[in-house]
């Protein structure tokens, strides 16, 4: 019987495990991937202060700390069911047998949303996250020349990582508009998101957007006059007035069909052309990976500010089910730094249930909660606007359910 089982060995899960072990709790961390680190493993970018964020190195630091505390971390284990039993403990059902614990922390992270494009089943088509893992984790070259379909915070960040690895990217473009892709294919809506990372770009046009596109009028104006040749970010054109309508090839990707589009995302007849590429990355964004939270019976709230359906929780990472905690991107799409800080909060909350003399724990928990807010406010990139408002809404939902 473990004090806590943590599902997910990403930044949130590892950070929580370290904190729990510091208080001598009996901890098991499981993850379905072959090595710990989660999304951290593929991350590599330069921050505005000139320092490099290297996800592999960050993972190594977390693992060194976890191993120094004799933390039980097992990879290649998939959890497919969570069960609460009558004597107030939990059973985690996995492909390697069942495990029992007094508490559960679900830190399963996020998954990618695909933006379907005709031809997307051809070999050579992949999600932008898959390209990141193949390149930065497995050191596999995804192709000789490619294109990214979908312009958002995630795709821009990973495109830069691919460039740093020597991958040739022709450009980034929008998907053609349909009932599924309408949020990702409308130039003005995409401009709203792009302006949140413009301060990182070596482009006067995009830096202008970063400073002034708080105005809806200016965003419309910037979209209307967005250069037809695109705006280069790190030497790669980003197109908001071109869309990919089809991925072509017989046995593999050979080209994409592209149209110019209006400021409203409508195809302009007579502008069709083909671009030869041998791989395509599709970027539809991220959503909380919350199936296990649903299996255990946690209530959910849909909040666009947090990236989708999120299990109800409070700032201590507690849920309405006593003994079940959540941390990381399952609680809303944010940076790895925020996820790591949330893991510390969750670990301290769990420790409070099992450790006598809680005065120091109470103080550390309050400081850890404040640290999450600080990291969030100082984040270089925000995946969703109004993240703080979303956090307040989920906190209110928790209070309503607990006090009802």
Instruction: Indicate if 142 and 267 belong to the same structural domain.
Output: yes
Which of 224, 258, 282 is where one domain is finished?
282
The confidence score (pLDDT) of residue 337 equals 93
Instruction: Indicate if 324 and 217 belong to the same structural domain.
Output: no
Instruction: Indicate if 273 and 168 belong to the same structural domain.
Output: yes
Count of domains for the chain: 2
The confidence score (pLDDT) of residue 284 equals 86
The Cα 373–Cα 362 span in angstroms is 17
Instruction: Indicate if 262 and 323 belong to the same structural domain.
Output: no
Instruction: Indicate if 179 and 244 belong to the same structural domain.
Output: yes
Which of 282, 312, 347 is where one domain is finished?
282
* Cβ neighbour number for residue 374 with a 10 Å cutoff: 11
Q: What is the 3-state secondary structure (H, E, C) of 152-167?
A: CHHHHHHHHHHHHCCC
The confidence score (pLDDT) of residue 218 equals 44
Instruction: Indicate if 397 and 262 belong to the same structural domain.
Output: no
Instruction: Indicate if 48 and 91 belong to the same structural domain.
Output: yes
Which of 282, 297, 331 is where one domain is finished?
282
Per-residue pLDDT of the chain (404 residues; tens, 9 = 90+): 999 999 999 999 999 999 999 999 999 999 999 999 988 888 877 676 777 778 889 999 999 999 999 999 999 999 999 999 987 799 999 999 999 999 999 999 999 987 889 999 999 999 999 999 899 888 899 999 999 999 887 888 888 888 888 899 999 999 999 888 888 888 878 877 666 555 555 444 444 444 434 445 445 545 565 667 777 777 888 898 999 999 999 999 999 999 999 988 999 999 999 999 999 999 988 999 999 999 999 999 999 999 999 999 999 999 999 999 999 999 999 999 999 999 999 999 999 988 876 778 989 999 999 999 999 988 777 778 789 999 999 999 999 999 88
Instruction: Indicate if 96 and 122 belong to the same structural domain.
Output: no
pTM of the shown model: 0.88
- 192: which residues sit within 8 A by CB, 6+ positions away? 213, 219, 385
Instruction: Indicate if 269 and 122 belong to the same structural domain.
Output: yes
The Cα 386–Cα 376 span in angstroms is 11
Instruction: Indicate if 301 and 385 belong to the same structural domain.
Output: yes
| b/e sequence 31-41, b meaning 16+ C-beta within 10 Å | bbbeebbbbbb
What is the extent of the structural domain holding 188? 114-282
- CATH code for the domain in which residue 79 is found: 3.50.50.60
* One-character DSSP codes across 163-191: HHTT--EEEEEEEPP-TTTHHHH-HHHHH
For residue 252, give the DSSP letter.
S
Instruction: Indicate if 315 and 356 belong to the same structural domain.
Output: yes
Instruction: Indicate if 19 and 77 belong to the same structural domain.
Output: yes
């Amino acid at each position: 019987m473990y004090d806590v089982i943590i599902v997910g060995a990403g930044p949130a899960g590892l950070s929580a495990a370290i904190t729990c072990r510091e208080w001598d709790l009996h901890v098991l961390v499981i993850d379905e991937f072959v090595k710990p680190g989660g999304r951290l493993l593929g991350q590599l970018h330069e921050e505005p202060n000139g320092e490099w964020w290297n996800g592999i190195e960050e993972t190594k630091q977390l693992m060194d700390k976890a191993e120094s505390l004799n933390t039980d971390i097992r990879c290649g284990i998939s959890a497919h069911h969570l069960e609460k039993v009558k004597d107030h403990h939990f059973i985690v059902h996995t492909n390697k047998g069942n495990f029992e614990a007094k508490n559960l922390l679900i830190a399963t992270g996020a998954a990618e949303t695909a933006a379907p494009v005709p031809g997307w089943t051809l070999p050579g088509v992949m999600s932008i996250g898959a390209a990141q893992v193949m390149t930065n984790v497995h050191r596999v070259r995804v192709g000789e020349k490619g294109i990214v379909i979908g312009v958002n915070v995630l795709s821009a960040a990973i495109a830069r990582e691919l460039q740093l690895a020597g991958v040739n990217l022709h450009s980034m473009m929008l998907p053609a508009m349909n009932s599924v892709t309408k949020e990702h294919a409308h130039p003005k809506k995409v401009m709203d998101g792009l302006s949140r990372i413009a301060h990182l770009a070596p482009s006067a046009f995009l830096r202008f957007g970063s400073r002034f596109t708080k105005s809806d009028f200016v965003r419309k104006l910037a979209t209307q006059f967005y250069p037809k040749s695109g705006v280069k970010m790190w030497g790669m054109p980003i197109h908001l007035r071109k869309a990919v309508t089809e991925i072509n090839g017989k046995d593999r990707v050979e080209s994409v069909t592209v149209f110019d589009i209006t400021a409203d995302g409508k195809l302009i007849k007579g502008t069709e052309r083909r671009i030869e590429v041998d791989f395509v990355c599709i970027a539809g964004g991220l959503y909380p990976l919350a199936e296990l939270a649903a299996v255990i019976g946690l209530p959910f709230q849909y909040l666009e500010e947090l990236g989708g359906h999120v299990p109800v929780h409070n700032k201590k990472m507690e849920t309405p089910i006593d003994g079940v905690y959540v941390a990381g991107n399952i609680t809303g799409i944010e940076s790895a730094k925020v996820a790591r800080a949330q893991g510390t909060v969750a670990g301290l909350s769990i420790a409070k249930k099992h450790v006598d003399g809680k005065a120091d724990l109470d103080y550390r928990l309050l400081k850890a909660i404040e640290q999450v807010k600080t990291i969030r406010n100082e984040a270089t990139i925000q995946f969703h606007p109004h993240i703080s408002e979303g956090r307040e809404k989920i906190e209110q939902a928790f209070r309503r359910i607990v006090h009802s």
